[in-house]
Chain A
Amino acid sequence: MIKVVFFAALREQLDCHELSISSENLVTVDDLQKHLANISEHWQKIFANTALLSAVNHNMANSEQVIKSGDEVAFFPPVTGG
């Protein structure tokens, strides 16, 4: 299973902080994002946001990053710390 976590405005828009997704048929972060977008029309709209960033196991990732069962994948808006 892949642990998926959401932060900040994205978490609020989805009304979800985390969920578990089977890694079957999901090879990359992009595959996972497309899978999440298919959950509902609402999620589809939100994941159409091209500014979203992702991280795999606490490292910034891009859409081609390969993922596997046991990974933690996070999606979040551009960061605003400091």
Chain B
Amino acid sequence: MTLHSNSEISIQTADFSLADEVALLEKDNAIDGAVVTFTGRVRNQNEGKAVTSLTLEHYSGMTEKSLEIIITQAKLRWQIGRVKVIHRVGELFIGDQIVFVGVTSKHRQDAFAANEFIMDYLKVQAPFWKKESSAEGTYWVKAKNTDKNKAAKW
């Protein structure tokens, strides 16, 4: 189920295909020589606990807006072409894909930097919250200071 989609942002429960997303970034795109993608997945360990699944909650309305703001900032700072951000919500399992960020640019420095920037800002500004399940019960994941510090470095 797709909860929100414009050409650059999609909040959805369904999985996505890296190959399909790269094809969209490259289709009829003769000017951009660089395509940089990032995929975030569900890991089996967090804070020492064995994770079995996680549930992504989000603030519908604000998630899209915050991602638009982040993408706009990336476009102002770097010379990039196409951008796509996908974030899944709902229940996910070990190994599942959670998030995708794809950026194109004429030369690779801009796409690399913009992609990292978008992920770093998403981690501290986009209203999503993870609730993990493990053998020891369910608990909300705590935000990390390392993410806060990383975002501040931009």
Which A residues contact B (CB, under 8 angstroms)?
Answer: 5, 7-9, 51, 55, 58-60, 74, 76-82
Contacts and interface: CB of A to CB of B under 8 A. Distances in A.
Contacts, number: 72
B143 A8 contact: no
Interface magnitude class on chain B: 20 to 34
Contacts of B148: 78
Contacts of B57: 7-8
B130 to A, nearest CB: 5
A81 B59 contact: no
A55 B59 contact: yes
Contact of B128 (A9, A58, A59, A81): A81
Contact of B129 (A5, A51, A60, A76): A76
B125 A82 contact: no
B129 A58 contact: no
B23 interface: no
